[in-house]
């Protein structure tokens, strides 16, 4: 077999949606982006949602809207993708890396307390693999300290925690629709908030500084208000080319309808993995997975002899990964790091196993049998 680690799940519906965008001859920032934003806003219960070309862009702008003074500090877990901490550098702020909870691998609330000082202005919890950070504990702590909270929800879409969608606990939530995620637009992201005033400049910031529904202008400028100066615009904020486009949004609207089914299938696969790996020597699940409660973007294990097991799985056609090498030991961030002793050591035991909505039962059984054979 040749089993992929991640893959998007597409059907004819996505192709038809793209064809319809072609037929409209509007594939840039247009009405489908607005439709997708409204759908995501309703889904999460947020008061405003803005579509972007990536979660990286969302994280960058999420920090940028606060206009923190240069050199202020942002608390961020070491165990996350580079984008979370890179967004801090983009804003000329200083990342303060926080160790992981030994059980959940989410940001350690104890180390968070240790790392905080009066120069910290924000905290960026990451719902690692889709497992919730205990937001009911983090939020009161952050509010007491006057910190802004930006939730990195790249690994979750539809995760409910204590009756509230992940992503709307903090000031801003950032989601990813990259091809490996729970649903995809190819590449894409979304940011949400319950404080629309925070987003007053975001639509300009995502589109080179121009806050203008250009698709509406194109449809109406020859009809109503023929004396209006339709070509006029102002640049009041520094903008980026971060907008989502109608091709991506068209795919996203189809994938969004499939998301509950995708999440259910992933939960079933994780349950099969958990049952199949039970009591295997030297192997434990990466997290305290609760697949009947939360949708997970990744499934993994912690294993003794990690490297040898990964090479063995590779030799049998099974793709694996490690999510992630802690940022606090990466050369780019090392001057801020080497200060998260638990995760900097424990990450050497991590193996990410194949997980996607199209993974077949026979493939899951093959992965489990191959792991068992290695341990014998």
What rounded mean pLDDT belongs to the chain?
A: 95
| Distance in angstroms (rounded) separating the CA atoms of residues 317 and 272 | 20
Token pair of 166 as six digits: 């992940």
Confidence class for position 215, pLDDT limits 50, 70, 90: very low
Q: Which domains does the chain have, with CATH numbers?
A: 12-257 (3.40.640.10), 259-375 (3.90.1150.10)
For residue 16, give every residue at least 6 positions away whose Cβ sits within 8 Å of its Cβ, in sequence order, or none: none
For residue 372, give every residue at least 6 positions away whose Cβ sits within 8 Å of its Cβ, in sequence order, or none: 280
Burial of 109 (0-12, 13-18, 19+ CB in 10 A): middle
Confidence class for position 219, pLDDT limits 50, 70, 90: low
Token pair of 290 as six digits: 């609760």
pLDDT tens per residue, range 251-261: 999 999 999 99
C-alpha 283: how far from chain center: 27
Confidence class for position 165, pLDDT limits 50, 70, 90: very high
Residue % of the chain over a pLDDT of 90: 92
Residue 225: its pLDDT value, please?
59
Closest CA to 150 of 124, 111, 129: 124
Report how far apart, in Å, the C-alpha atoms of 155 and of each of 22, 67, 198 are: 31, 26, 24
Closest CA to 256 of 27, 1, 36, 17: 36
Closest CA to 213 of 8, 344, 50: 50
pLDDT tens per residue, range 52-81: 999 999 999 999 999 999 999 999 999 999
Q: Are strands 120-123 and 94-98 parallel, antiparallel or unpaired?
A: unpaired
User: Residue 241 forms beta bridges with which residues?
Assistant: 207
Confidence class for position 207, pLDDT limits 50, 70, 90: very high
| Distance in angstroms (rounded) separating the CA atoms of residues 275 and 299 | 13
- Element (DSSP H or E) covering residue 145: helix 135-145
C-alpha 213: how far from chain center: 27
Residue 176: its pLDDT value, please?
98
Token pair of 176 as six digits: 């990813």
pLDDT tens per residue, range 126-158: 999 999 999 999 999 999 999 999 999 999 999
Cβ(36)–Cβ(253) below 8 Å = yes
Chain length of the chain: 376
Q: What's the pTM?
A: 0.95
Percent composition of the chain: helix, strand, coil (DSSP 3-state, to 5) = 40, 15, 45
- Mean pLDDT for the stretch of residues 281-310: 97
Residue 220: its pLDDT value, please?
53
Would the pLDDT of 117 be above 90? yes
Closest CA to 81 of 368, 324, 369: 324
How many of the other CB atoms lie within 10 Å of CB of 284? 14
| Torsion angles phi and psi, residue 5, rounded to 5 | -70, -50
| Torsion angles phi and psi, residue 3, rounded to 5 | -105, 120
- Element (DSSP H or E) covering residue 98: strand 94-98
Token pair of 151 as six digits: 């939730």
């Amino acid at each position: 077999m040749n089993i992929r680690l991640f893959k998007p799940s597409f059907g004819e519906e996505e192709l038809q949606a793209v064809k319809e965008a072609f037929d409209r001859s509007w594939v840039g920032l247009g009405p489908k982006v607005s439709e997708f934003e409204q759908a995501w806003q309703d889904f999460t219960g947020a008061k405003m949602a803005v579509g972007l070309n990536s979660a990286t862009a969302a994280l960058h702008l999420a920090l940028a809207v606060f206009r923190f003074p240069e050199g202020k500090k942002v608390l961020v877990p070491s165990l996350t993708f580079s984008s979370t901490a890179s967004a801090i550098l983009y804003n000329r702020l200083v990342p303060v890396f926080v160790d992981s909870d030994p059980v959940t691998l989410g940001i350690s609330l104890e180390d968070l307390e240790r790392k905080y000082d009066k120069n910290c202005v924000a905290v960026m919890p990451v719902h690692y693999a889709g497992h919730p950070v205990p937001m009911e504990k983090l939020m009161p702590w952050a509010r007491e300290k006057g910190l802004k909270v930006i939730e990195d929800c790249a690994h979750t879409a539809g995760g409910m925690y204590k009756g509230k969608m992940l992503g709307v606990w903090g000031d801003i939530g950032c989601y990813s629709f990259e091809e490996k995620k729970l649903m995809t637009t190819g590449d894409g992201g979304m940011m949400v908030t319950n404080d629309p005033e925070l987003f007053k400049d975001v639509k300009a910031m995502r589109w080179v500084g121009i806050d203008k529904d250009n698709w509406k202008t194109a449809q109406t400028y020859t009809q109503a208000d023929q004396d209006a100066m339709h070509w006029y615009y102002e640049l009041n904020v520094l903008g980026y080319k971060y907008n989502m486009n109608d091709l991506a949004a068209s795919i996203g609207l189809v994938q969004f309808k499939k998301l509950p089914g995708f999440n259910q299938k992933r939960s079933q696969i994780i349950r099969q993995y958990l049952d199949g790996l039970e009591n295997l020597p030297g192997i434990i699940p990466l997290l305290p997975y609760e697949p009947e409660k939360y949708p997970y973007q990744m499934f993994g294990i912690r294993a003794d002899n990690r490297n040898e097991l990964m090479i063995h799985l590779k030799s049998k056609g099974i793709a694996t990964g490690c999510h992630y090498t802690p940022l606090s030991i990466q050369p780019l961030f090392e001057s801020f790091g080497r200060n998260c002793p638990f995760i900097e050591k424990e990450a050497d035991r991590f193996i990410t196993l194949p997980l996607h909505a199209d993974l077949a039962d026979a493939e899951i059984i093959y992965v489990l049998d191959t792991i068992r054979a290695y341990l014998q």
